[in-house]
Chains A and B, each alone.
Chain A
Amino acid sequence: MTTPETMAAYTHTEERGGDAYVRKIGREFLVDVYSALRSVKLYPPDNPVVQKAVDEVLRVSEEILSRERELEVRVSGEFIFVNSTRLRLDLDNYASFGRIIAVFRNAGIGLFRVVEASTVRDWLVFLTLLQSPSEGDADQRLVSLAERLAAAEVRAFDLGPPAPEDAEDREKALEAAKRTYAQSLTVTKEVINSVRMGRSPNIKRIKRVVQGIVDQILNEETSLLGLTTLRDYDEYTFTHSVNVCIFAVALGRKLGLTRIQLYDLGLGALMHDIGKARVALEVLNKPGSLSDDEWRSIAAHPWMGVLQLFQMRGKNDIPYRAMIIAFEHHMKTDLTGYPRHRRPRELSIYSKIVAVADAFDAATSRRAYQATPFSPSDALGEMRVNPRRGMDPVLVKAFTSLVGHYPVGTMVVLDTLELALVHSPSASPDAIARPMVQIISDARGNVLFPGVLTDLTERDENGTYRRTIIKISDPDRYGIRISDYFV
């Protein structure tokens, strides 16, 4: 049974598990730190509100220290780790985590550790200085903060810079993402093709694929989000389904859905267009305008998806949420759109999430009837400002926050006249216009492959940004195939 394939596969094993206590107390600690940061900013130090907030921070920090013997907060990308346990983002801590990441980043801190017994005064000084970073690059800001703490005789804390992103780790993450994407694409293709051939595919493999996407998003979403630029990698229907699944799960994660909820959402997202497998390919791929009958046939795919999902069910479970998502994903928030319905209905939030992900991926993809796709940022703008699109505005906002003002895969021109592709949104919520980019051509026009990963928040010794986006551009004009830079 131990075949070479198995052994090879074994090298890709994954591990799962968790630590509930640290997750819970860590969340509590960070929410308290956030409250204290706010009160320190708003009131003088002797104000009772400040005293109470800092007391609470001290209390929880002491509880963690007494139980865990250590208290270390590490910020990495958009994740926060307390004592090496990554804390889960949810709606209750959404604002506080984002703010803390931003404050740490602005101060040049990647690592914060309590090294000896702290006092209320220690925390008060630290939280105050944290919010008034000095000028200079990240290292300078960190050194300055450490010096100011020492000058104030605060020695309870140890500060460290952000860990340099390990190229090997990044490569591993990308490889894992590519494997997940490729597997998802393969299974999606098999499922849709077998439906087209009149067979009833088993949902078991689809479940495994969605579980893989959820795990990948929970562990490191950037690489997988980057792969959504693979819109021309295979037949649109397949890549689109996988992309919508990735976007939906990533958005769901941002909204704090649990792992099982993300799975339900992901399954529905991956299968949202399954009804199209019942639509004739010549209609689906028709470049010109559609006749009434052809349009009716296309517009039937949401409800045909419901019927198809009944055919696909596993022995024990019926994918009810996936059915609802398939039925509702073209309905607008005012319940117009299609398909028609007679009975009272309230759109599921899962359907609304998938509708946003679907609209974004569809608008930015080249299709038979869309030779010139929207740029990612234009697509976002359209979704945001055009009420006729019928998107939930709060979800569009959350989605914009997920993908950034310059979504992954956007091609930009820098003030250095270098061309770059947006790799990931900036980890700092304050740096909306300064994402991480992959520079793909130097200032003389030489193409760099696979490109140079660069953080646009980097400043020179004078505190001036080294590079700034001056405009976005169309990769087709330069014969750039975006997906090549993400695989």
Chain B
Amino acid sequence: MTAPSTAQTLPTTELQPDEPPFAPQLVEELLRQLARAVKTRQLYLPNNPIYQRSVEQLQAAFAPLWERTSELVVQISETEFRWCGVVVHQESAGGESLPWTCYKDGLRELTLLQGVEAGEITVFLDILQRVRKSSPDEDDLLTLLWEQEFEFLRYRFVDLSIDTNLTLEPSEESSREKHLPIVEIAREAEEEPEAERQGIIRMEDLDATLYFLDEEEIQYLRSQVQKEQGSNLHYNVTSILLDIFELQGEDAVRDEVCAIFESFMPQLLMSRDHGTAAYLLREAAEVARRAEDLRPVDRERLARLPESLSAPGVLEQLLQVVEDGDTATSQEDLEALFQELRGGTLGTILGWLGSGRASNAAMRAALEGAAKRLAAANTGQLVALIGSGDAGTALEAIRRAGELRTPAAVAPLARVMAGQLPELRRVAAQALAQIGSPGAMRVLEGVLDDADREIRITAVRAVGIHDYRAALPKVEAVVTGKAVRDADLTEKMACFETFGLLARDEGVEQLAALLSGRSMVLRRRIDPELRACAAMALGKIGSPKALAVLRSAAEDKDVRVRSAINRALRGGDQ
């Protein structure tokens, strides 16, 4: 081992001078800051400002030290750190004392090199934190330190987990004096024709190509190593387990593999390997279908795998893990996993979508797909969720009921319309409009004069589109009523067009009067905007009679009316 290029060669541990080369206070301060950072790390997450401040203070404590040396070597005992024979940090033994944490796992000397403060010190703090929280079965400090390729941190240790006094000894036979039959060796060597001698290097053996890899072979190995590093180990092991389950028919083996599957699923989900989790569920179903020699109990256990994923608590956790994760999640993998979800999860999924908790774009897209699939396959549950106490869930259920045009949803939607929640009512009106059944239209007819403008517009358009003539009297009352005069252009248009669609030729006379500005019903000079709407309604009727009225008014003085007439004659918006 050598010191890095940036460091001067310092005396080794054995050569520590009796007198410290500079005042120990600097080292004491550094170790005080180290102990403080360790304690802060116990209390806070790495991104917490308090912890980050303690790390900054620790990093700052290195600066004066590096002005005097480039390497700090401290010896570790149960209760203290020593530097050049001087105690520079002391804590009582046991518990969470820093010297004890290091000492108990075998660390005996720690060397910090200039540069350690830049990044490796925080890795060291993380390791100490892991060790403090670990159970006896988990990796100890030495194992965790070993796994790091530290450049500026070195250590000496005693491996307490293994008997270090173990060694190998030669057999007693070895030291006995022995004389080999040399005559025999010589005779054999001489008598055996050279060509037949065993193990002799022949010219062809000297061909270096037998021993040294050429460029192509090196490339091959490099690609193999890269492939290995990029391979999905979960997937590979899952495939092995499925093979064992399917090809080894013993009951005990299948019991063992099933138990592994059950405990493996949470592992896969926790590690966010959704693709492999989906693969396991998919293949388990396939095996259950394909394997003829399965016991009913095996089939049952395989079937329970996706069910366990679909338990509300499990799915909630899965979604939370994805949402909280800081690495990219594959939408494709999530979609594959959600493909395995059962109908019972619809409420949870709609709740996540409705509440806006699913901010992860990949997860949101995958949830949308799952919601669509599950809603279509479980309309009963979907309808029930319309009445959910959770507004987000209800909102999503209403939307999807509309998209699916589920007639069974009309009754609960009517209840929503009778309720007080504006957003739900608006979405419910849209859903009813999409469903378009007579029942849905009846509900919408009832809200043509609703206090909510959006609901009125949705309702009036819907009855028109679905040609719900039963609503004509009510629509007629709207277009001839006073309220419409105060409505905005969009609403006026919607009302008049629907009137045209429902009334057909029967409404031409009334509309012609409005267009001419002579309406007896409104009994006053008619607003050009209303006249323009009447023109559009006539256009919607589109009969010869209606078109004749439009042509006769084509030279109207008002530009808005003229424009509307022209549009209507051309086929309206089309």
Contacts and interface: CB of A to CB of B under 8 A. Distances in A.
A445 B167 contact: no
Contacts of A22: 2, 4-5
B157 A14 contact: yes
A484 B166 contact: no
B22 interface: no
Given A21-B4, A315-B138, A481-B173, A444 B182 contact: yes
A342 B246 contact: yes
What is the interface residue range for chain A against chain B? Answer: 35 or more
Interface in B146-162: 146-147, 149-162
Nearest to A348: B228
A389 interface: no
Contacts of A342: 242-243, 246-247
Contacts of B212: 95, 98, 397, 401, 429
Contacts of B1: 15-18
A300 B160 CA distance: 36
A175 to B, nearest CB: 7
Interface stretch (A154-162, A303-311, A360-368): A303-311
Contacts of B169: 487
Given A94-B218, A449-B175, A6 B227 contact: no
A23 B149 CA distance: 13
B177 to A, nearest CB: 7
A300 B199 contact: no
Given A15-B1, A68-B5, A348-B231, A9 B160 contact: yes
B138 A314 contact: yes
A204 B2 CA distance: 30
A179 B225 CA distance: 31
B233 A324 contact: yes
Interface in A159-215: 175, 178-179, 181-183, 186-187, 202, 204-205, 207-209, 211-212
Interface string B463-488: 00000000000000000000000000
Interface string B213-251: 101011011101101110101101101111110111000
A445 B4 contact: no
B15 interface: no
Interface stretch (A112-120, A136-144, A281-289, A404-412): A404-412
B225 A255 contact: yes
A233 interface: yes
B179 interface: yes
A472 B199 CA distance: 6
Given A307-B257, A472-B199, A478-B180, A341 B139 contact: no
A397 B137 contact: no
23 contacts: A9-B158, A13-B158, A14-B157, A16-B154, A18-B1, A202-B137, A208-B159, A212-B159, A230-B168, A258-B149, A303-B248, A306-B244, A307-B260, A340-B247, A394-B221, A397-B210, A429-B211, A441-B180, A450-B170, A450-B174, A470-B200, A471-B189, A471-B200
A230 B174 CA distance: 14
A469 interface: yes
Nearest 6 Cβ contacts at the A-B interface: A445-B182, A472-B199, A17-B154, A484-B174, A320-B233, A182-B166
Interface string A320-354: 11011001000000000001111101101110100
Interface residues of B, number: 105
Interface stretch (B47-55, B80-88, B103-111, B347-355): B103-111
Contact of A484 (B113, B138, B170, B181): B170
A341 B247 contact: yes
Contact of B149 (A259, A340, A375): A259
A17 B198 contact: no
Contacts of B167: 175, 178-179, 182
Contact of A233 (B157, B168, B198, B221): B168
A95 B208 CA distance: 12
Contacts of B149: 18, 258-260
A359 interface: no
A442 B138 CA distance: 54
Interface string A458-477: 00000000000111110000
Given A12-B158, A17-B150, A208-B161, A349 B221 contact: yes
A433 interface: yes
B240 A21 contact: no
Nearest to B166: A182
B293 interface: no
Contact of B150 (A16, A84, A484): A16
A19 B247 contact: no
B173 A484 contact: yes
Given A19-B3, A343-B283, A401-B211, 10 more contacts: A1-B103, A9-B165, A12-B158, A17-B151, A183-B162, A378-B198, A433-B201, A447-B178, A469-B200, A471-B189
Contacts of A375: 198-199
A407 B81 CA distance: 48
B327 interface: no
Contact of A15 (B155, B227, B236): B155
A87 B192 CA distance: 46
A142 to B, nearest CB: 25
A472 B138 CA distance: 49
Nearest to A324: B236
Nearest to B238: A343
B328 interface: no
B118 interface: no
Contacts of B243: 303, 339-343
Contacts of B260: 307, 310
B182 A443 contact: yes
A19 B239 contact: no
B304 to A, nearest CB: 19
Contacts of A279: none
A386 interface: no
Contact of B180 (A261, A349, A419): A419
Question: Counting chain A CB atoms within 10 Å of each CB, which of B137, B147, B188, B228 scores highest?
Answer: B228
B527 interface: no
Contacts of B423: none
Contacts of B574: none
Contacts of B147: 260, 263
Contacts of B201: 405, 432-433, 469
A469 B460 CA distance: 104
Given A432-B201, A445-B180, A20 B151 contact: yes
Nearest to B3: A19
Interface in B366-414: none
Interface string A390-425: 000011011011000110001011000101000000
B389 to A, nearest CB: 40
Contacts of A485: 170, 174
B67 interface: no
A14 B138 CA distance: 22
B94 to A, nearest CB: 10
B185 A377 contact: no
Interface in B5-42: 5-6
Interface in A51-109: 67-68, 83-85, 91, 94-95, 98
B126 interface: no
Contact of A447 (B161, B179, B208, B267): B179
A183 B163 contact: yes
A94 to B, nearest CB: 6
A227 interface: yes
A412 B221 contact: no
B491 interface: no
B135 interface: yes
B197 A470 contact: yes
A303 B158 contact: no
A8 B210 CA distance: 47
A298 interface: no
Contact of A377 (B143, B199, B231): B199
B186 interface: yes
A1 to B, nearest CB: 5
B210 A208 contact: no
